[in-house]
């Protein structure tokens, strides 16, 4: 939908450690999930599953001119909840691409922006998935960023003095691709229908007061979806101003709560358990909270600079798994090739 976003990287990480092999075989040990993948890097890459990101990353890097004369043996470890709305797949792809650059014949130290671009190609474009590029750029660049992809990609590094966050995993399974596809397709249909009658219609410029002017061309549900999307856009703009100024913890919390209200009541991607976890966080002293990622399960987070441990316990009391986290840098190049 080409609307800007604000996102932050946190200090839960994925690491890759390994070395080049004397043959062309790639062996990836995944002890956290009790799995292993292997294939030849010299042969044409054939995907064995829809989201075959470890292979697609190599395909993308080869298209961008990197070569691999040797195979790789490596181990992947992660601290990020899997399939829980915390960008674990993007963090894996970003880390893997960073590592592959170093393992290539060119021993390439890729820039964070290039890593993000290649990760987006490997994860979204390669498999025609509905996701955007927020996760890849946030994970690669790190910190808190303002990302606008229209008319071209612009990344602004913000420097807010944000306090502690508490991440809560509901442990409810989620279908990221289906949820993203449903919400994105519904909104794209609204825009397409409106542009037939109003060629100049744009989500970037419409105001809340103008929505009624378009309502006769939409169903009731579509009008609500449009209102929610425009409200989210406006919340992002308010947050940008707030984060560029002296950090107002109460305002940041209010904007998170406003955003959650749209996600829960209009986009309908929250769940009763996550709603309870958020409310418990607020009752325990958090300034605000919202569901994370595409929703439908997975994680929420609360902004709790003053009561992190109390909020953590409140989330756990509601049956969630909680982590006290902070804003962190993006992908690092401080791992070295083993001897």
pLDDT tens digits, 9-18: 999 999 999 9
Q: Do the beta carbons of residue 116 and residue 137 sit within 8 Å?
A: yes
CB neighbours of residue 216 within 10 Å: 8
* Helix (H), strand (E) at residue 140: helix 134-141
5: tokens are: 């976003």
Q: Please give the order of strands across the beta sheet that includes 5-8.
A: 5-8, 144-148, 154-158
Q: Is the pLDDT of residue 157 over 80?
A: yes
CA distance 321 to 323: 7
**pLDDT mean over 280-298:** 93
Beta bridge partners of 299: 169
Q: Do the beta carbons of residue 294 and residue 85 sit within 8 Å?
A: yes
Local confidence band at 246 (pLDDT 50, 70, 90 cut-offs)? low
Local confidence band at 230 (pLDDT 50, 70, 90 cut-offs)? very high
Place of tokens 């909020």: 311
Beta bridge partners of 288: 303
Local confidence band at 335 (pLDDT 50, 70, 90 cut-offs)? very low
Q: At how many degrees (to 10) do helices 134-141 and 88-103 cross?
A: 60
Q: Do the beta carbons of residue 106 and residue 322 sit within 8 Å?
A: no
> What contacts 279, CB < 8 A, 6 or more positions away?
none
Burial tier of 129 (Cβ tally within 10 Å: 0-12, 13-18, 19+)? middle
| Biggest distance spanned by C-alpha atoms of the chain | 68
**pLDDT mean over 237-241:** 94
Q: Do the beta carbons of residue 174 and residue 298 sit within 8 Å?
A: yes
pLDDT of 319 reads 97
Q: What value, to the nearest 5°, has the Cα angle with vertex 95 and ends 260 and 294?
A: 20
Which of 22-26, 141-145, 159-163, 335-339 is the least confident region?
335-339
Local confidence band at 184 (pLDDT 50, 70, 90 cut-offs)? confident
pLDDT of 245 reads 72
- Give the domains, in start order, of the chain with CATH numbers: 5-158 (3.30.230.10), 165-325 (3.30.70.890)
Local confidence band at 296 (pLDDT 50, 70, 90 cut-offs)? confident
Q: Do the beta carbons of residue 337 and residue 99 sit within 8 Å?
A: no
Asked if the bond preceding 201 is cis, omega within 30° of 0, the reply is: no
CA distance 123 to 69: 24
pLDDT of 247 reads 76
Q: What value, to the nearest 5°, has the Cα angle with vertex 169 and ends 249 and 235?
A: 35
- CA–chain centroid gap for 148, Å, is 14
Local confidence band at 281 (pLDDT 50, 70, 90 cut-offs)? very high
Mean model confidence pLDDT for the chain: 93
pLDDT of 338 reads 41
Local confidence band at 337 (pLDDT 50, 70, 90 cut-offs)? very low
Q: Is the pLDDT of residue 182 over 90?
A: no
Which sign does the torsion angle of CA 172, 175, 178, 183 carry? Answer: positive
DSSP state of 121: I
pLDDT of 280 reads 98
């Amino acid at each position: 939908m080409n609307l800007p976003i604000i996102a932050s990287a946190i200090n839960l990480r994925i690491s890759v450690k390994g070395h080049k092999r004397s043959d062309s075989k790639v062996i990836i040990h995944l002890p956290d999930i009790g799995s292993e993948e292997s294939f030849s890097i010299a042969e044409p890459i054939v995907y064995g599953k829809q989201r075959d990101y470890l292979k697609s990353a190599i395909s993308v890097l080869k298209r961008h001119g990197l070569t691999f004369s040797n195979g790789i043996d490596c181990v992947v470890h992660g601290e990020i909840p899997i399939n829980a709305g915390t960008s674990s797949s993007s963090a894996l792809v970003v880390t893997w691409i960073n590592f592959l650059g170093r393992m290539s014949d060119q021993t390439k130290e890729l820039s964070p922006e290039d890593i993000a671009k290649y990760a987006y190609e490997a994860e979204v474009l390669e498999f025609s998935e509905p996701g955007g590029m927020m996760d890849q750029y946030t994970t690669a660049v790190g910190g808190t960023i303002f990302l606008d992809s229209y008319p071209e990609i612009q990344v602004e590094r913000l420097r807010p003095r944000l306090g502690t966050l508490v991440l809560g995993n509901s442990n409810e399974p989620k279908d990221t691709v289906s949820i993203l596809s449903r919400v994105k397709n519904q909104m794209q249909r609204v825009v397409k229908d409106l542009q037939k009658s109003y060629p100049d219609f744009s989500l970037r410029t419409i105001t809340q007061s103008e929505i009624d002017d378009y309502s006769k061309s939409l169903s009731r549900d579509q009008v609500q979806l449009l209102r929610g999307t425009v409200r989210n856009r406006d919340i992002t703009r308010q947050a940008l101003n707030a984060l560029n100024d002296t950090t107002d913890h109460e305002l940041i919390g209010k904007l998170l709560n406003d955003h959650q209200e749209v996600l829960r009541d209009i986009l309908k991607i929250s769940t009763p358990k996550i709603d309870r976890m958020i409310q418990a966080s607020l009752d325990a002293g958090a300034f605000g909270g919202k569901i994370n990622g595409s929703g439908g399960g997975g994680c929420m987070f609360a902004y709790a600079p003053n009561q992190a441990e109390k909020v953590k316990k409140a989330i756990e009391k509601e049956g969630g798994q909680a982590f006290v986290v902070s804003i962190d840098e993006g992908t690092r190049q401080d791992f070295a090739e083993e001897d």
